[in-house]
Amino acid sequence: MPTLLRLRATALTVTAVLLSTVLAGCGDDEAKDEDLTRQELSWEDCPTPSDAQGGGASPSPLPDGGEWQCATVKAPLDWDDPKGDTIGLELIRARSSGDEGARIGSLIFNFGGPGGSGVTSLPGSAEDYETLRTRYDLVSFDPRGVGRSAPVICQNDQQLDAYFQQDATPDDAAERTELLENTKEFNDDCEQNSETILPHVRTTDAARDLDLMRQVLGDDKLHYFGISYGTELGGVYAHLFPQKVGRAVFDAVVDPTKNGEQGSLAQAKGFQLALDNFAEDCVSKTEECPIGDSAQDVKDRIAALLKDLDRTSIPGVFPRELTQTAATDGILQALYSQELWEYLTQGLQQAYDGDGTILMLLSDSMNGRSENGEYDNSTAAHRAIGCADSKPRYDAAFVERKLPEFRAASALFGDAMAWGMIGCTDWAVAGAADHPDVRAPGAAPILVVGNTGDPATPYEGTRKMVDALGKGVGVELTYRGQGHGAYSSKNKCVQDAVNGYLLDGKVPRAGTVCT
């Protein structure tokens, strides 16, 4: 399992049937290879998404009938050897819908993960950003190691089916041994299948890619919208290239001061808070809550279900069965967005009656599995980027010492979060640092937006990012809401503040609170 749960935007893909030392900064340097900075992009109609991107159809036309365009930018495989081998980074854009004279430039999005395909995520949430398209070309990309950009490949679909069915919270020596062996096998397969790219997928590499994109797209400054892990990437960019920061927004903010253990513990607390809020919401409605008489009863029944599934699975999506691990993943997935709470309620009702279909579909969405049984490469990329970034390596003995603390943070999710820390134990590439360096003295203001009910990037990290960026850089905005992220909630106060900064350069008053 990953060291941390995957961090991504709230625009989660749920089908109609139900749907992670920072390298020394080079300051304000331009990309070293002039040939690459001067390359011309060939924008064409976007192909159908690759298996690593998640498959499916080409993006639908834009709201005004325009077509999405895709291109590939060449970047150094190794930024320490910029004249050496290159890789292709896949880009997607929607041209600005406004007058050319009003166009500011390109606004580059990263939707999180690490491991999420921006080429598929941006079209999926295009309507949310249509106002921003009046003055920007909207651009996103598959970061190195992701999707079509030199993807990390570890295991095949059948192996991943088994991997996600394993018992991720061992109760005895035999289960612990099996989990450790499966984790090592997964990591060994990653090394065997993706040895060339694994040393070159750190967030610092992706930040240098961002600056190359900025230059190739013709912008003097990087205008940027980072969500979830995208806030970490944006912070690292600001550290490396402070004088090149244009108008930037960080939404659903990663705490840059925490190491892997601290981040996992914070997520245990964050998802427990989201579960508490879900349970309270269910019993507060005028109609009877179908999954419990009180908030505590809701949580007790979920705990009992997971305990039962630890002993005996139930039918899920044929031929697979819903295990304790799959059910936990499904619950976690639904807690990312308040829009999914109704499906969680339905899925729990089903599961109490012996049918695990909805919870299994939610779990599949969490793990990047499509309806036809094919997986994208988000799990592999998430592991590769997280382990290349994070220096600590945690073994089973460490996890067992920490279990009481994690269980105190969340009786329901504590074990899973704690055992997830072993993901990088046998990784082939050494981790770079305990945590990212995001100090950015002299950078332009960065709007940093935190959601008080965010489970995956807890709200406390917002202030930590503001402080770490440095005086006069980070500008804090608080949204008192639920789910992962704020802008996509469609809260008018949040969207007005973000749009006002990105479109008109109006920096909100620090400490603004939106409800």
d(CA 379, CA 391): 19
Catalytic residue among 219, 255, 389, 454: 454
Report yes or no: 501 and 447 within 8 Å, Cβ to Cβ.
Answer: yes
Instruction: Give yes or no: 228 in active site.
Output: yes
Q: Tokens for 124?
A: 């999926």
In terms of Cβ atoms closer than 10 Å to its own Cβ (0-12, 13-18, 19+), residue 57 is exposed
Can you list the alpha helix ranges (DSSP code H) found in 410-459? 414-419
DSSP-derived secondary structure for 175-226: HHHHHHHHHHHHHHHHHHHHTTTGGG-SHHHHHHHHHHHHHHTT-SSEEEEE
d(CA 179, CA 493): 46
Distances (CA, A) of 417 to 4, 52, 272, 409: 7, 26, 11, 10
d(CA 393, CA 496): 42
Instruction: Give yes or no: 454 in active site.
Output: yes
Pairing of strands 245-251, 112-113: unpaired
The beta strands (E) that lie in 254-412 are given as 314-315, 321-322
Catalytic residue among 96, 484, 488, 489: 484
Which residue matches tokens 């919401």? 281
Nearest to 195 by CA among 438, 481, 358, 388: 388
Report yes or no: 248 and 221 within 8 Å, Cβ to Cβ.
Answer: no
For the chain, how big is the Rg over CA atoms in Å? 22
Nearest to 493 by CA among 510, 506, 480: 480
Pairing of strands 86-94, 136-141: antiparallel
Nearest to 344 by CA among 381, 378, 309, 305: 305
Catalytic residue among 228, 337, 363, 410: 228
d(CA 296, CA 373): 36
Report yes or no: 388 and 356 within 8 Å, Cβ to Cβ.
Answer: no
d(CA 352, CA 369): 24
Report yes or no: 43 and 93 within 8 Å, Cβ to Cβ.
Answer: yes
d(CA 351, CA 362): 13
Report yes or no: 264 and 417 within 8 Å, Cβ to Cβ.
Answer: yes
Catalytic machinery residues: 228, 454, 484
